[in-house]
Structure 1
């Protein structure tokens, strides 16, 4: 099976925190991967390193296409200019990213019932998160990295976004989605990784419905055992 994203002996140091040597391989069957861990475990540091946004101390990151564009990365903090209207955000993304589909973005924004005339700073935190996810999913890439994308939305909107993420990740692509919340998201993931104190303590496919139902317990055991 073709590897889409992987790392060997990856070490990243940020101040007093360090990711210990991390190695993993995600292939075309990995699908949507949950990146689980407590706050401060290193999830954001790992995602930023994989996205090419944090300097790597040692080790390597591998992509299926070595000359590919940078992975799609959604940070956990607002990145859109607050004075831009929703439609203007679409226009800006279309000018900046060659892999961006304006029509797909508009379709997703309409599905989420976001007002394209509203400026970003007039949106609620949850609506801003919805817009950010829609814009990221409108890009055609093979690696998608999401940092806590569902933390600010209500349960009903979360379920809608889960379905949109499922429907819009391209075939044979990998999406790595970090969260410290698992309950209610079990059906989103095909596989998962657990990071604890800067170390990758488990990475597995979810192979049975029983594992999916007990995913929160499995992750807790991995953290406590790590």
Structure 2
């Protein structure tokens, strides 16, 4: 069974169509890049999968169920913008996640915080934007979820920390789970991807394994992205 699947998925906001007949399937054990320019529908698709939006038409399933209260326990979601309360300390956030999510692993989060030299006593409001994003990613990846939805996980992170963060994503997700990474920083994440889904103007252009792109097209995902979305 696919861990994330949609069929004829449509989402409209008034007269604007954000997604138009989107159909795809993602299997467990895959790290998938959801790639497209700004405004292509990436964030809308991720929010639909997380149950934050309701489809206008078509269907979407997480582990065989429509997104909602039943699927929240299976999905670990990293929003594009930091959504954690700024008054809380890192330790308080760890406690909050542990109380709220049965699959949250405190020791895993402590290990990652220590590696990035982030103090559990520090309050979110005392941190730089990049450090806040690291904390939110650590909390997201410290869950033992079936599906990880990461919206621009390295967008505000300094290049020196990107390799560690990507390694964290690889090492800390359940091999039976799937990871969806929405980003425009293709060159930075290409090395961790198994598959890519190219989306533009609310429509899926194609879905392919990274190996197939390299073998059949003789180019990197980053080079193909630049070619497909050339202005």
TM-score by length of 1: 0.92
The aligned runs of 1:35-74 (5 Å cut-off) are 35-64=34-63, 66=65, 68=71, 69-74=73-78
Partner SS for 1:99: coil
Deviation readout 1:129-176 (Å, 9 max, x if unpaired):
110010001111111101111010111101110111110111121110
Does 1:109 pair with 2:108? Answer: no
Counterparts of 1:194 and 1:4, CA distance in 2: 19
Q: Which consecutive residues of structure 1, in runs of 5 or more, have no partner in the other structure?
A: none
Counterparts of 2:59 and 2:139, CA distance in 1: 29
Identify the range of structure 1 (60-69 vs 17-26) with the bigger mean alpha-carbon deviation.
60-69
Counterparts of 2:206 and 2:118, CA distance in 1: 38
Aligned alpha-carbon RMSD (Å): 1.9
Counterparts of 2:90 and 2:221, CA distance in 1: 36
Partner SS for 1:202: strand
Shift of 1:187: 0.4
Identify the range of structure 1 (169-178 vs 14-23) with the bigger mean alpha-carbon deviation.
14-23
Counterparts of 1:169 and 1:59, CA distance in 2: 29
TM-score by length of 2: 0.90
Aligned residues: 223
Counterparts of 1:45 and 1:24, CA distance in 2: 15
2:151 match: 147
Partner SS for 1:157: helix
2:2 match: 3
Q: Which consecutive residues of structure 2, in runs of 5 or more, have no partner in the other structure?
A: none
Identify the range of structure 1 (161-170 vs 100-109) with the bigger mean alpha-carbon deviation.
100-109
Identify the range of structure 1 (50-59 vs 206-215) with the bigger mean alpha-carbon deviation.
206-215
Shift of 1:106: 1.3
Deviation readout 1:39-78 (Å, 9 max, x if unpaired):
1111100100011111111111122253543521111111
Shift of 1:192: 0.6
